[in-house]
Structures are given as structure tokens and as C-alpha cells.
Structure 1
Amino acid sequence: MNSRRNFLQKLGVTALALQLAPIAGWADSLPNDHGADEGPVLRVAIMGLGSYGERVAEAMRSCKKAKLVGVVSGTPSKIKTWQSRYGIPAKNCYNYENFDAIKNNPDIDAVYVITPNGLHHDEVIRVAKAGKHAICEKPMAINAKEGQEMVDACKAAGVKLLVGYRMHFEPKTLEVIRMRKAGEFGKIKFFQGLCGFTIGDPTQWRLNKQLSGGGSMMDIGIYAINGSRYMTGEDPVWVTAQETKTDHIKFKEGIDETIQFQFGFPSGATASCLSTYAMNNLDRFFLDGTDGFAEMQPSTGYGPIMGRTHKGELNQPITTHQTVQMDEMAAIIFEGKQPVVPIDGDEAVKDLKLIDAIYRAAKTGEKVEVKL
């Protein structure tokens, strides 16, 4: 497998056609009423036309409140292909040299940045300066300092900054969160998050420090970090971490292969997590409380999320994560809707502060206190 996205795509029984299948009779329990055609439509340009950009574009075909209307790419052939496939007019197509002219285009409301991590900072700030709402893939930046600069730039420009936390709208995930808030697990004591796959092509950008900002922690690890927070309902106050590297050729200096990390929460609950580029079959969340538990496996993949609690199997319907995400983002931008779990830049900066602390703890071997 060459990437996290291939890994996630192949988890579960995951043909894209299955994911895009219509879901009937469940509108009332979705975070957003997908039967509603009223209100403005969020007109989106995608920046970065790689595999995940394609997945988002395909999912947006089913959106009711968001529409793909533009592209930004440094590859002319990709632009031409996308124009044909999605009916994108030439006036809404940009490259990285002329992109700033998007500020004069009234037919684009937001730009979804789906490029390597190391490029997010500058690109989101360019989006903000152009007066467009910014949507950014996670992790939002390569460290908390850059992330905060992105948040500040968007606030100064008066535009929204949202991050692609698609799991914040996933039905089984939301059911576990609901149960936890209702006290059905009792006092939360422990969370475990296992995220990993065996990475392939050694020349890909994810193994390039300048583009990725790190290794597995800057890729698959974000799921365990963010998941530990929404599953427990708390933010960590301390971090410990240990790094293991077995292949120093593929995983050069600054590119982590495997990191185990632990969190401590104000309530006394703890978390034990793993992020790796060297092991497959790792996509599992486990939450334990005094009165019950929740287990999700797969927990974050593109394919059907599966899970059970002490009360039985989770049977919420399968959704196309990116379709729901984009419709929800439209509601957040146009209607001021508040999601169950935030997806804004401030939420993303918290995860980046934890990534910074994990790297520091792994390097020093010390417990690192954090304040989010």
C-alpha cells in the first residue's frame, strides 16, 4: 500500500460504489437534513487533485448544500480531465502562480486545500487573503505555531477555517459520543487508539520531511490523537511517548516509523495509542468506563465503520463521510451551525499542540505537560 489513503480505502468492505449508495429513511438522525434543498449552496474549489481530492470530488456529486465548481493544480492535464469530468468552467481553473486572482471570482466561496502537510500553512493563508473560506485537510499544519498563524490569518480576513475531520459526522462515532455524554459508560477510565499501515513507495511525499513535517504521526497518527479527545470528551494534560525505528533507510532523520504515546486527562483517565508506518491491521478504538465500553474496528477508515458497545452492535447506517462533511460545512459557513465536535482551526491547533508534545516527549523521554 502506497499511502494512508489507500490503506483507509481498503479497510472494511469498501468499494466506493458502496460508500456512495443512497441511504433512505434516516434523514431525521443524520447531523444534517439531506432531503433539504433550500438555502445557499457552498461553491467549492479543490486545491490539490490527488487521490483524496478525487474522493472528495466524487462524494460531492451527492451533496445537497455543496458543489464542486473550481480546481487549483500545477498539472494542466489534471485540470483538463477534471473540467471534463465535473463540468468545471475555464474561468474557475487556477494554477499555483495565478491562484491569487481567485479573489476576483465571485462564483467560488471556499477552497479545500488537499495538498501535502508542509504546504497547508502558506496555501491557507493565500486563500484567506483572497477572501475565500478555507477548508484544510488534517493535520492542518506541521506544528502548532504554523497552525495558529493560519487561524489568525483567517480571522483577520473574516473567513472561516474548517478542517477535514470527517469522523466528527460519522453516525456510529456520534452514537458513541452520545452514549458517553449520557453517562452510559459510567466514568471514563481508558482509551486505546491503534492507527497504522505498512507504507510503500519510499519516494512519496509522506516520507519527505519538508513536505510531510514528519512520518506516521503527521499522517495516520492524527486519528488516534483527535479520537482520544472526542471519545473521552476531555483534553490531555500530559503526554509521554516512545519512538521505535527499524528501517533507517526508508525512515530517515525526522521521519518517524512508529511512535507509542500516552495521554493523561484531568479526570484521571488515560490513553495508550500507537501510530505506525510499519504494521498493518491497525484501525481500532477502544473506550472503557466503569459501566460499559465501546469498541470500533475499523474506527476511521473510508469503508464501513464497525463497532459494538456493552449494549450490543452499533447499527447506524453507512454514510459517505465526505458527502456528509461537505454538506455540514456548508451549514456551518452559511447557517452558523455548531457540530457535535468542532471542526474549526482552533480544534486543529489543539491536535497540533499534542503532536508537538508527542515529538518532544519521544525525543527527551520525559513527561510533557500540555495546556490546550
Structure 2
Amino acid sequence: MEPNYWSTLSEDVLENEILSKLCFADLYRFGGVCKPWKSLCGPLKFRNHLPWLIVPPPPSINSNKTMVYQDENVGFYSLCDGKVYKAKIPQLCNRRICASFLGGWLMTIHENSEVQLFNPLSTRPPLNLPPLDKFPGVQRKFKKQVCFEFPKLFYTGTRGNFYAVHASGPVVVIHGLDTIPYAERLISDHPERSNLAGLTYILESAGDLLVLFRSVVGHKGAEEANDEYPHWPHKTVGFKVLKLEFGSPNRWVELKTLGDRALFVGYNSSFSLLASTFSGCKPNHIYFTDNLWGYFQGQHFGGQDFGIFNLEDGSIQKFLYPPDAILVLPPPIWFAANPPSS
């Protein structure tokens, strides 16, 4: 075979005969060969790929007893085959992934509070954002379990506005982002929120503004318990999906079905996709990861509350990574290379 054989292959051959058969980690390595090949691996090429879970490397503890992430080898967990594929991403070395967005964008943070946006599928260099310590209300903690804490707000942009939900339930719209921001409450907490112990998410789905209440309970069972670890700290038992119906006044409407949509929720990454456009994606289901930090910091267990919730019958299909671990820290985060219009 001639040394330059690969460079003579047409884009059609590369895309249809090679790229279509590769997992994400192999696609990332493929794109690292040269810029022309990198351009073939952009987000648009992943329109029909089910989201992956990024599995960060385990942190090490520095002299200040703070978690640092010095390993550039990142795992990508496939929901399709249950396997983890490794890829070396130097731009993630010494940085923690703190959020992800549709289109393959990751928000990362350095231990010195420097924040960047980075897309492993793009040829663009990382984008520098204002340091985290410039934002009010952000606390830095020097603990083995926690490096940074964010205010208990989760955001989404829809209807041309910027919305947030507090962990306790109320939804607000944020005004004045270009001047002095302030929040206007749109609706009070849902009356049943006080009966649900767990997490709250906000996201846009097919133009609707949805709020999800995730019910989590502490769990003790003989099948998990042993002499050394007598309890299993928590597990998700259900979701309540509410749509905020705008009007006079605004009101909650509980959804009993998502139609052909599938929701993905987790640690600083929640979004909706049209299930029929993704091979293996289950409509009317909620894919969730374990991001209830308060339950497993300092515990022997945690980071394994992953699953797929069936909104129709309330059943949950569990999946674990890694299957032989009892503490996964930090927890995986969704990675969706699909463009935001999906």
C-alpha cells in the first residue's frame, strides 16, 4: 500500500465506509490525524448518534487536599453496547468537566478557577470564559469530595428568554443580562414538590418549558449490604414531568407522556431529543445519571444511580459504570454531539 493511500480516499468513502462504523473514541482519534479529517468528524456527522456518557478519570489529591484531574485519558460509555471506549484528550488534562451542551461543547474548569468552553469535535481552540471566582455566590471548598459549588439554579434558554429553576421548585425568568440581572418569579412551587426528596431539572422540549422532579430515596437492601458496607445510600424511584403553561396566570400541567421525545438529565447537562431520529433511543423515557452529590460525599457508595425511566409504566432499567465499583467520583456527564436543533 502506498504511504499516501489514505490521503487519496474520497470523503464519501471515508464517511460511508469507515466513519459510520467507528465508535466515538475512534472517531475522535481519527479526527486527530489531520485538519481535513477533523472537519469530517464535526457535530453534524453525529446527528443520529445516541448521547454518550463521559467518564472522567479518577482525581488525585494535591498538597492542598484538593481534587485535581491530571489524567488526559477520558472514557466514553456507550449506551448501545455498555462498553467504555478510551480517548486521550490533552485539553482536558488538569481540568474538570463541569457542564456539557448539545453540539459537543464542554465547560471545563482549572483548579485556579479558569473556565473554558471546549469542543473535542471542533477544530476551534478552547474559548476562555471569565474565571469562576468572578461570579457572586460561588464558593470554593478545599475538600477531598468537592472542589467547586454552584448556586442551586439550573438554566435553559427558550422563548427568547433565560429561565431558571431553584432546587426547591420555583421557576424564574432572568432579565437584564446585559446590565444588572434580576429574577422575576413566574410561578410558585408545585404543591407536591414538598413530598419529593431529590433533584429538580429545567429544560426545553419541542418548544415547551419543562420542569422535572426526580424522586430519590435512601435504600437499604440485603442484596447490596455486607459486613463492611451495611447500606446502599440512595436510588431514584420516579420522575414527575411538568410543563409550564404560560398564560394569565401561568400554571403547571403534568405530562403523562413525552410522545416521541426522550429526555436526558444529569449533572449540569439536561436536554430533549427526538427519539425516532436516534438508533436505539427509547421514546417517552428519561435517561438519568447520578448527580446527587450530597448523598455520596464521604460515603462508601455513590455515583451509580444511573437508569432509564419509563414514563408510561414507571419502571426503571438500570445500567452501571463500572459494574465492579462501589464509588464513582466524579460522576459521568452526558455528552451529546448532536446539534441543538435535534
**TM-score category, normalised to shorter length:** under 0.3
Q: Which structure's relative contact order is higher, taking Cα pairs within 8 Å and 6+ residues apart?
A: 1
**Higher strand share goes to which structure?**
2
**Higher helix share goes to which structure?**
1
TM-score normalised by structure 2 residue count? 0.26
- Answer with 1 or 2: which has the greater Rg: 2
TM-score normalised by structure 1 residue count? 0.24
